[in-house]
Amino acid sequence: MKVVLVGAGAREHAIAEHLARGASLYSIMDKPHPGILPLSTDSLICDPTDRERVSSWCAENGIELGFVSPDALLEKGVTDILASAGVKVASPLRESARIEWDKNYARNLLLRHKIPGLPGFLLVNDAEEASAFISRMGDVVVKPVGLTGGKGVRIMGEHLNSPEEALAYISELIEKDGHALLEEKLEGEEFTLQAFCDGTRISAMPPVQDHKRAFVGDTGPNTGGMGSYSTGPLLPFMEPGDLEAAKSIMQLTVDAMRSEGNPFRGVLYGQFMLTRGGPKVIEFNARFGDPEAMNALMLLRTPLHEIFQSIPEGNLMGAAFSTDCTVVKYLVPEGYPSAGKKGMKVDVDRQALLKCGGKAYFASVYGEGGAVLTTSSRAVAVASRDASLGHAEEKAECSIRAISGNLWHRPDIGTAALVRKRVEHMGRLR
Ligand code: AMP
Ligand code: GLY
What does the alpha-carbon distance between residue 29 and residue 19 come to, in Å, rounded to a whole number?
16
Hey, whose CA ends up nearest to atom 10 of ligand 1?
212
Regarding the beta carbon of 137 and ligand 1, being less than 6 Å apart is answered: no
Q: How large is the greatest C-alpha to C-alpha distance in the chain, in angstroms?
A: 61
| CB 6, CB 19: distance < 8 Å | no
Task: Report the CATH architecture of 189-425.
Answer: 2-Layer Sandwich (3.30)
The pLDDT tens digits along the chain (430 residues) read: 999 999 999 999 999 999 999 999 999 999 999 999 999 999 999 999 999 999 999 999 999 999 999 999 999 999 999 999 999 999 999 999 999 999 999 999 999 999 999 999 999 999 899 999 999 999 999 999 888 766 788 999 988 999 999 999 999 999 999 999 999 999 999 999 999 999 999 999 999 999 999 999 999 888 889 999 999 999 999 999 999 999 999 999 999 999 999 999 999 999 999 999 999 999 999 999 999 999 999 999 999 999 999 999 999 999 999 999 999 999 999 999 999 999 999 999 999 999 999 999 999 998 888 899 999 999 999 999 999 999 999 999 999 999 999 999 999 999 999 999 999 999 999 9
Hey, whose CA ends up nearest to atom 3 of ligand 2?
289
Regarding the beta carbon of 286 and ligand 1, being less than 6 Å apart is answered: no
Q: At residue 36, what is the residue type?
A: I
Which listed ligand is nearest to 157 at the C-alpha? 1
Which listed ligand is nearest to 138 at the C-alpha? 1
Instruction: State phi, psi for 283 to the nearest 5 degrees.
Output: -165, 165
Regarding the beta carbon of 70 and ligand 2, being less than 6 Å apart is answered: no
| CB 42, CB 25: distance < 8 Å | no
Regarding the beta carbon of 270 and ligand 2, being less than 6 Å apart is answered: no
Hey, whose CA ends up nearest to atom 14 of ligand 1?
282
Regarding the beta carbon of 119 and ligand 1, being less than 6 Å apart is answered: yes
Nearest partner of 100 among 122, 139, 121, 69, judged by Cα: 69
What does the alpha-carbon distance between residue 94 and residue 404 come to, in Å, rounded to a whole number?
39
Regarding the beta carbon of 329 and ligand 1, being less than 6 Å apart is answered: no
Regarding the beta carbon of 190 and ligand 1, being less than 6 Å apart is answered: yes
Task: Report the CATH architecture of 120-184.
Answer: 2-Layer Sandwich (3.30)
| CB 378, CB 336: distance < 8 Å | yes
- Out of 101, 210, 364, give the residue to mutate to test ligand 2, the one with the largest number of ligand atoms within 8 Å of its CB: 210
Regarding the beta carbon of 285 and ligand 2, being less than 6 Å apart is answered: yes
What are the extents of the domains in the chain?
Answer: 2-91, 120-184, 189-425
The Å distance, Cα 128 to ligand 1 centre, comes to: 23
Hey, whose CA ends up nearest to atom 4 of ligand 2?
289
Instruction: Give one word for 425, left, alpha or beta, with left for phi > 0 and alpha for psi -120 to 50.
Output: alpha
Do the bridges between strand 65-68 and strand 88-89 make them parallel or antiparallel, or are there none, so unpaired? parallel
CATH topology of domain 2-91: Rossmann fold (3.40.50)
- Please state whether the peptide bond connecting residue 263 to the residue before it is cis, i.e. omega within 30 degrees of 0: no
Which listed ligand is nearest to 288 at the C-alpha? 2
Relative to the CA of 143, which ligand 1 atom is closest?
Answer: 3
